[in-house]
Structure 1
Amino acid sequence: MNTAGLDVFFLTMGAAMVLAMHAGFAFLEAGTVRKKNQVNALVRVITDFGFSTIAYFFVGFSVAYGINFFVPVSELNILGGKTNGYEMVHFFFLLTFAAAIPAIISGGITERVRFWPNALATLIIVSLIYPFYEGLIWGGNMGYQGWLEATFGAPFHDFAGSVVVHSMGGFLAVGAVVLLGARKGRYTKDGRVVAILPSNIPFLALGSWILCVGWFGFNVMSAGNVEGASGLVAINSLLAMVGGLLAALVAGKNDPGFVHNGALAGLVAICAGSDIVHPVSALVIGLVAGACFVYGFQFVQTRLKIDDVLGVIPLHGGAGLWGGIAAGIFGQSSLGGAGGVTFMAQLVGTLTGVSIALVAGFVIYGLVRAMLGIRLSEEDEYHGADLSVHNISANPEQDMASH
């Protein structure tokens, strides 16, 4: 039976589920920021998706896979030797991954970043930086995977992007957050942390739930076709998610922000090895990720004094790093995994992605800051990005009535 049309439908559903995850990013951020920055959070997430689409369509997809769309429609339908326009929906699916990078970064830099300079950084990252590493790992570019296999006995295994997507986003955010500096009033002159409370816990929880549901498209549909779809990926994603939220519940002492983000930490960590580890190992990977997120968040905020608003550095960067390495531990047949991985290949592949992201984050946001400036003025930050950038609040009718 010709399954080409079925594969296109399968991947379209996956792309739609990951597209829905961007609503999760938006509401997670809108619920975490102060009320005066909710509109800005929502607008930046959806417009970053728009900028990402343009960047990935015209440049990024070609950088990663050597495929462009500048041919007649008759040729578009059979790009890459696939029929039914498969490569076009493949682009759509992978675009939703690429666009997750600025959505991740957004959570770290929110409440004080300028709109258009940030949009420029998004265009650069999704055109060049992310596709460069994506192409090394998933596109077979520059012989990198062959070198890893020859040197360490296996290529780097990242089934659904613990490192390719999440660590890249989390560690790109380091440069952005550090160069922006902390929100006004976040730290006292003697270094004490001042609590800045979230605006809406139900929005935060809704964002987490949307992300959790969409993640099963993120992971399961990474197979790329119906024949490759695996129930193992689904159950591993489920158990890692549960492990993450339960560990964060305990480590975070019932804090709802930690619980809802802990579920996401587990899902971040299982992406890499979801197709090769045993379900019990997936639970362990999630438990470690959830606990490490809580302690990592506290370390970044209180010890390093880095004002990463949503905790994207430990959540995506740290949990993604752990997931890449964990695949090399629990994926081995001696621990009940499917095999085909080595610890050293996973370690080197992971550290390669982290290094690229760290350097690129400082370079790109440093250049944008030098050319345009990236931080709102003190007055605009005080009034909030909603009024300063968009001239409207989250509840305009209610605000008018109160005056």
Structure 2
Amino acid sequence: MNQTMNQIQGAVQTLTQSSDTLFLLLGAIMVFLMHAGFAFLEVGTVRRKNQVNALVKILADFGISTIAYFFIGYWIAYGHHFFGSATELAQGNGYELVKFFFLLTFAAAIPAIVSGGIAERARFYPILMATFFTVGVVYPVFEGIIWNGNFGLQNWFSHRFGAPFHDFAGSVVVHAVGGWIALIAVLFLGMRKGRIRAGKHTNFAPSNIPFLALGAWILCVGWFGFNVMSAQTLNGISGLVAMNSLMAMAGGILAALVAGKNDPGFIHNGPLAGLVAVCAGSDLMHPLGALVTGIVAGVLFVWLFTHLQNKTRIDDVLGVWPLHGVCGAWGGIAAGIFGQRSLGGIGGVSFTAQLMGTIAGIIVAVVGSFVVYGTLHKVMGLRLSEEEEFNGADLAIHRISSTSED
């Protein structure tokens, strides 16, 4: 009898492990697909002479990110390495390996975010070097602090404010950190040539709205893997996360539609703003709270992007700082507002901890990226020459154009 029970328990455990592994693998594939979304969003926004570079840069960044995260970043964040035997690594259906793949797709989102901000004037290999250090060191430091409890900050939050910093799917850990890293890179690179004419700002129109829209659609679909599958096990999956993601996305669309005055570029970025913001509290909020979170994010993106392009010398091509940096930070704070029981949320979250954790993420991103990009700026230079920029990154870097007519 005992032997039969042990066999049943073993079979159930094996089935659970294999199911969790498959579940997380599907999530990793969905988030990996989002990188195609990043690529096409950038391709559709930049001028035609920089489209090849956008595609190559995103893919090359993913390769560099994989190496940096495998050898350095994952170890910094979680204290785990992959230098044991293949037999050891394959234990438990290889769940830990799939977990690495899943979290790698999050880490690789950092340079994909940065890519949109620095487009059209950045040198290729210095930026790949920056990717290695931001994914290998800067991002994992904060990731480990929040998602693995490193350095005791989460324990301090819990002791001081009654709850740790809550970021279910990375509004701050991934998006805000990536957006603020991008801002520092953009500041070091400066404005693209031709943006200021006769003392006035000139905006470059998107080169291909269908590609831009395709990128937005791919990102939106993949985001349900990004958010829902952040549970990392079948037992932890929640329809609330899916519903809140949907409502925040809808809020972002409608807010961008109205605030952006029916501009297709804003409309297709609106859902992304809402999805960025809801990541942190998607497992806590009531759907109405998620809707408000998305609406605020959509308005923030439209207003800040318009202000950046028309009033400042910050040349953020895709608006990744407002979209990811600011909307991500708003998401971290929003989790502390709409996650409260008094506003229909599940509770167990502290507004003060959310605010301070968000600020901590921004500080790590700004300081770390300043060291990385500042050093590369001094040692190698980050920007293409004026002639290379005029000819376009496609010809200057890759010696080929996106179409035969160019």
Q: 2:385 aligns with which of 377, 388, 398?
A: 377
Q: Distance in 1 between matches of 2:82 and 2:196?
A: 49
Q: Distance in 2 between matches of 1:6 and 1:107?
A: 36
1:253 aligned partner: 261
2:56 aligned partner: 43
Conserved in 2, the CA contact under 8 Å of 1:270 and 1:282?
yes
> Amino acid of the residue matched to residue 253 of structure 2?
L
> Amino acid of the residue matched to residue 138 of structure 1?
W
Q: Distance in 1 between matches of 2:175 and 2:281?
A: 14
Q: Secondary structure at the match of 2:196?
A: coil
Q: Do structure 1's residue 329 and structure 2's residue 337 form an aligned pair?
A: yes
1:56 aligned partner: 69
> Amino acid of the residue matched to residue 370 of structure 2?
F
What are the residue-to-residue correspondences of 1:93-112 with 2, within 5 Å?
A: 93-112=102-121
Conserved in 1, the CA contact under 8 Å of 2:203 and 2:309?
no
2:97 aligned partner: 88
Q: 2:169 aligns with which of 160, 166, 176?
A: 160
In the TM superposition, what whole-angstrom CA distance separates every residue of 1:353-395 from its partner, at most 9, and x where no partner exists?
Answer: 0111112222211100111110000000000000110011001
Q: Distance in 2 between matches of 1:229 and 1:306?
A: 40
In the TM superposition, what whole-angstrom CA distance separates every residue of 1:181-218 from its partner, at most 9, and x where no partner exists?
Answer: 0000112363x211211110000000000000000000
1:18 aligned partner: 31
Aligned residues: 393
- Unaligned regions of 5+ residues in structure 2, if any? 1-11
Conserved in 2, the CA contact under 8 Å of 1:174 and 1:361?
no
Q: Secondary structure at the match of 1:85?
A: helix
Q: Do structure 1's residue 359 and structure 2's residue 367 form an aligned pair?
A: yes
2:8 aligned partner: none
1:138 aligned partner: 147
Compute the displacement of 1:273 (Å): 0.1
Compute the displacement of 1:174 (Å): 1.1
Conserved in 1, the CA contact under 8 Å of 2:172 and 2:331?
yes
Q: Secondary structure at the match of 2:80?
A: coil
Compute the displacement of 1:71 (Å): 0.5
Q: Normalising to structure 1: TM-score of the pair?
A: 0.96
Q: Distance in 1 between matches of 2:18 and 2:130?
A: 37
What are the residue-to-residue correspondences of 1:254-293 with 2, within 5 Å?
A: 254-293=262-301
Q: Do structure 1's residue 120 and structure 2's residue 129 form an aligned pair?
A: yes
Conserved in 1, the CA contact under 8 Å of 2:138 and 2:369?
no
Conserved in 1, the CA contact under 8 Å of 2:77 and 2:148?
yes
2:178 aligned partner: 169
In the TM superposition, what whole-angstrom CA distance separates every residue of 1:10-62 from its partner, at most 9, and x where no partner exists?
Answer: 00000000000000000000000000000000000011000000000111001
> Amino acid of the residue matched to residue 184 of structure 1?
K
What are the residue-to-residue correspondences of 1:61-72 with 2, within 5 Å?
A: 61-72=74-85
2:207 aligned partner: 199
> Amino acid of the residue matched to residue 86 of structure 2?
V
Q: 2:247 aligns with which of 221, 228, 239?
A: 239
Percent identical among aligned pairs is: 64
Conserved in 1, the CA contact under 8 Å of 2:23 and 2:234?
yes
Conserved in 2, the CA contact under 8 Å of 1:276 and 1:337?
yes
Conserved in 1, the CA contact under 8 Å of 2:201 and 2:311?
no
Q: Do structure 1's residue 303 and structure 2's residue 316 form an aligned pair?
A: no
In the TM superposition, what whole-angstrom CA distance separates every residue of 1:136-182 from its partner, at most 9, and x where no partner exists?
Answer: 00011111100111111110000000000000000001110011000
Q: 1:31 aligns with which of 44, 49, 69?
A: 44
2:216 aligned partner: 208
Q: Distance in 1 between matches of 2:377 and 2:85?
A: 41
1:129 aligned partner: 138
Q: Secondary structure at the match of 1:227?
A: helix
Q: Distance in 1 between matches of 2:360 and 2:154?
A: 12
Q: Distance in 2 between matches of 1:276 and 1:85?
A: 30
- Unaligned regions of 5+ residues in structure 1, if any? none
Compute the displacement of 1:85 (Å): 1.0
What are the residue-to-residue correspondences of 1:345-356 with 2, within 5 Å?
A: 345-356=353-364
Q: 1:343 aligns with which of 343, 346, 351?
A: 351
Q: Normalising to structure 2: TM-score of the pair?
A: 0.96
